Structure 1
Amino acid sequence: MRVGIIGSGRMGSALATALREKGGFDVTVTDKEGHKTELLRSRGIAVSTNNSECVSQNDVAILAVKPADINSLLDEISGASEGKLIISIAAGIKLKLLQSKMPRAKIVRVMPNTPLMVGAGAAAYSLGKKAKEEDAKLVEQIFSSAGICLPVDEKLLDAVTGLSGCGPAFFYLFVDGMVEQAVELGLDRATALKLAAQTAIGAGKMLLEAELSPQDLIKMVASPGGATEEGLKVLDKKNLKKTIAKAVKAAAKKSKQLGKTN
């Protein structure tokens, strides 16, 4: 399976590396400015400077450009898109716009996140009108090579953006606060970061595998009158849960706005 990725930015390069190293795909990336050519080739990834050829010469093309650049890109590759499976990971860009620019392409929108760099991504996808069940399976195969990939209705992709697309940054901020205080309490930064990061990994695995709700898992840790309960009182007093909810809502709203401006 040959996959072309248009865009050699952070997400495009990370996805290319994951597909090559973890999925075993033949991958080509367009790097028009040549900034990452040497790095990509060192990873066994072919590099092109022609976006239309990247579409026409591969079985699948993934559009990994910024939302502001999507219109000019679609105009450039439209002629090469007929019959192709085109996957867009541009936040907020609707299937309607993509299909209007590439009327004979099979189009899928995907919202991935940056942990795919380490094979632990969370992605959700929505099929365009011309995409079939076999296309859905191929999308799942591609993105599952670097984590999980789940189907959702397109109207929910902005919510996915706020939740898992932007969510890693929210976790990093939380961990950063934990580490800073641990350092003040005497731990060296490297040790504190490893302990906090592993705690985040373990908590995630518990959520996925223990078949218990977040509230049930909190109760497992927070013994009455104990240290965890004391810390939770501080977080509750600052309305942390509501603040996190507002952050997800704000990010989802911004994703929706980005779609309206393109």
Structure 2
Amino acid sequence: MKVGFIGTGSMGRIMIEAFIQSGALHPGQITITNRTIAKAEQLAMIYPGLQLSHSNVDVTLQSDILFICVKPLEYKTVLVQIKEHIKQLQILVSITSPVLIRHLEELLPCKIAKVIPSITNYVSSGAALCIYSERMTNADIEVLERLLSHISSPIRVAETHTRISSDLSSCGPAFLSLFLQKFIDAAVEETGMSKVDATLLASEMLLGTGKLLTTGGFTPLTLQQQVAVPGGITAEGLRIMEKELRGMFNNLIRTTHNKYDEDVAKVEAAFFGTKVE
């Protein structure tokens, strides 16, 4: 199987390195290119055998599965370049949420999937959100999900739930990291504990909590109930958190959804010269 990447920016690079480091693909199976070619050249130097190209068309011609990892407003330019060269049996994978399946189907004759990765995939963990066009057969889906399963848990979601699913799985690591950083900073400020020690303890706590919630049989609610003894210290901490965090996550979700709607409208205008109402 030959896999191509157009775009080796932050998330494209994470996926390439994760596939190689997990053993899902060896470098010789991957062809890459990037608008700033130096970024692709750097990757090729790190992973001998990785195929480097200066042409989007060349990467397309060499790929069974083609990942498009560019910014949303750059998609139209890339697709116009490759649309006469991509074949019906090839699978094109978009990794950005504002570019919709129908946008891609309007321009391309091939099989189309949308996969929203997460930075957690770099350590072969977390989810990869999967959305499929009707052109994808069960066999196509199996091939793609088998590849993704080396670096993630492929989870199928409805395109209408792309944004909230991405908030939880893809933006979530950054949101939780901010929460954890504030917790660490407060520990240091209030007690004089070293930042190194506080960071280590908090990070190990987060790792263990993730295991409890995935393989340990706990839900967020049952975990709180297990730790918090009525009238105890944890229960008092949860009480103040409930008060201070009330409404914050609702506002967060409304904000990300508003930004997503704006981005979809911009993509719509770039593709078709019209805006989404």
Between the aligned partners of 1:200 and 1:5, the Cα distance in structure 2 is 32
Alignment equivalent of 1:250, drawn from 244, 252, 255: 255
Deviations along 1:222-256, one digit per CA (max 9) or x if unpaired, are 11222211211221121x25312331342234223
**CA–CA distance in 1 between the matches of 2:174 and 2:76?**
28
Helix, strand or coil at the partner of 1:261: helix
Which segment drifts farther, 168-177 or 204-213?
A: 204-213
Residues 1:194 and 2:200 aligned together? yes
- Distance in 1 separating the partners of 2:126 and 2:103: 26
Do the aligned partners of 1:88 and 1:109 also contact (CA within 8 Å) in 2?
yes
Pair 1:237 & 2:240 matched: no
Which runs of 5 or more residues in structure 2 are unaligned? 268-277
**Partner SS for 1:110:** strand
Deviation at 1:187, TM superposition (A): 2.2
Is the contact made by 1:111 and 1:125 (CA closer than 8 Å) also made in structure 2?
yes
Gaps of 5+ in 1: none
Relative to structure 1, the CA distance from residue 5 to residue 121 in structure 2 (aligned partners, 3 Å threshold; closer, same or farther) is farther
Corresponding letter in the other structure for 1:42: I
1:87-236, aligned counterparts within 5 Å? 87-102=93-108, 104-184=109-189, 185-236=191-242
Q: Percent identity?
A: 28
Corresponding residue pairs, total: 260
Q: Output the amino acid matched with 1:87.
A: V
1:1-59 CA deviation, whole Å, 9 max, x = no partner? 22111101000011000111214312222123233212343124322221111111011
Distance 1:252 1:135, change over 3 A: farther
RMSD value over aligned CA atoms? 1.6
Partner of 1:27: 30
- Give the drift of 1:100: 0.6
CA distance in 2, matches of 1:252, 1:146: 27
| Equivalent-residue separation in structure 2 for 1:76 and 1:183 (angstroms) | 53
How far is 1:93 from its partner? Answer: 0.7
The residue that corresponds to 2:273 in the other structure is: none
Q: Does 1:50 align with 2:55?
A: yes
Do the aligned residues in 2 keep the contact of 1:110 with 1:125 (CA within 8 Å)? yes
Deviation at 1:158, TM superposition (A): 1.9
Q: Distance in 1 between matches of 2:152 and 2:107?
A: 30
Code of the residue aligned with 2:35 in structure 1: it is: K
Name which of structure 1's ranges 243-252 and 107-116 shifts more when overlaid on structure 2.
Answer: 243-252
The Cα offsets for residues 168-216 of structure 1, whole Å up to 9 and x where unpaired, read as 1110111101111222222222221121111111111111123332111
Divergent runs of 4+, >4 A: none
Partner of 1:65: 70
- Alpha-carbon distance in 1 for matches of 2:224, 2:33: 46
